[in-house]
Amino acid sequence: MRFARLAPPDQDRPAFFARLDGAAAVVHDAPPWLGGKPTGEAVAWTEVDLVCPVLPTKIVCVGRNYAAHARELGHEIPTEPLLFLKPPSALIGPGQAIVLPPESQRVEHEAELGVIIGRRCKAVRQEDALDHVFGYTCLGDITARDLQRKDVQFTRGKGFDTFCPTGPWIETELDPAALRVRGLVNGEVRQDGLTSQMIWGVPALVAYISRVMTLEPGDVIATGTPEGVGPLVAGDELVLEILGATAAARGLGGALRVSVEAPRPTGAPGA
């Protein structure tokens, strides 16, 4: 099933969750991972209605989970998952803009598979891990690479507002080991990798992370990026895709498109 969060610009109502069924959106009374149920209302929807589909308590990211990406940055392949956090304030959704921070001279894209937790989990076994996953989405781990290198740790370089584009919706019926992750800038394919190339797959990541911290329903795991990361500049369009790895494998069925904006002057709206 496919779930989205909608905020039609021509309607005076709060954003709401819905199950997408073709051109119809079946409205739910709460996030589906919190037990939201259909209200009986169905509305027509278009892409302009889509907003960020997740409301997590935390975004847990995995660094260097593709060997080729670790090598392209000049790093050794880690011996266990390398974890860091992005704040929920970094989230944006379809059609929104990554705003380049004035503190950085090198902002890069990282296309990733996002995993949404469906059930509270603590110290789950790897063989049970997928029972705690609600679904999957496109995610961008946008990174101020110069600040990441300067600071050594990741918080500032990856934590700016707008540095976690996510969407366009959540798909619940994917095989996380049979997906293709792509990142395109201005129509040029820069990243194109397979989730089967991950050092640690989704079940291993959920199990490992849940031994460190309790994962709550709605929390997001960013599973790492394939090689090909590169710079973003003002005026760029970034497109993130989760496709099936083979003709028989199912993908997300839609792309996440966001723009890139120049730094905003201090005191400007959204700055």
How many Cα neighbours within 13 Å face the side chain of 204?
A: 13
Class of domain 59-261: alpha beta
Torsion on CA atoms 153, 218, 228, 240, rounded to nearest 10: -140
Dist. CA 101–CA 83, nearest whole Å = 23
CATH H superfamily, domain 2-51: FAH (2.30.30.370)
- Residue given tokens 């989990």 in the structure block: 121
Beta bridge partners of 225: none
Burial of residue 247 (number of CB atoms within 10 Å: 0-12, 13-18, 19+): exposed
145: helix, coil or strand?
helix
- Quote the pLDDT of residue 74: 85
Report, in angstroms and rounded to the nearest whole number, the Rg of the chain calculated over CA atoms. Answer: 18
Q: What are the residue ranges of CATH 3.90.850.10 in the chain?
A: 59-261
The one-digit pLDDT tens for each residue of the chain (271 residues) are: 999 999 999 999 999 999 999 999 999 999 999 999 999 999 999 999 999 999 999 999 999 999 989 888 888 889 999 999 999 999 999 999 999 999 999 999 999 999 999 999 999 999 999 999 999 999 999 999 999 999 999 999 999 999 999 999 999 999 999 999 999 999 999 999 999 999 999 999 999 999 999 999 999 999 999 999 999 999 999 999 999 999 999 999 999 999 999 998 776 666 5
Which residues of the chain are in CATH 2.30.30.370 domains? 2-51
pLDDT score of 166 = 99
Q: Is the pTM of this model over 0.85?
A: yes
Q: How far is CA 125 from CA 121, 122, 166, 182, in A?
A: 10, 9, 27, 30
**pLDDT for res 17:** 98
Q: Are 27 and 39 in contact (CB under 8 A)?
A: yes
Tokens 């992370």, located at residue? 209
Strands (E), 64-173: 82-86, 91-92, 97-99, 107-109, 111-117, 133-140, 143-144, 164-171
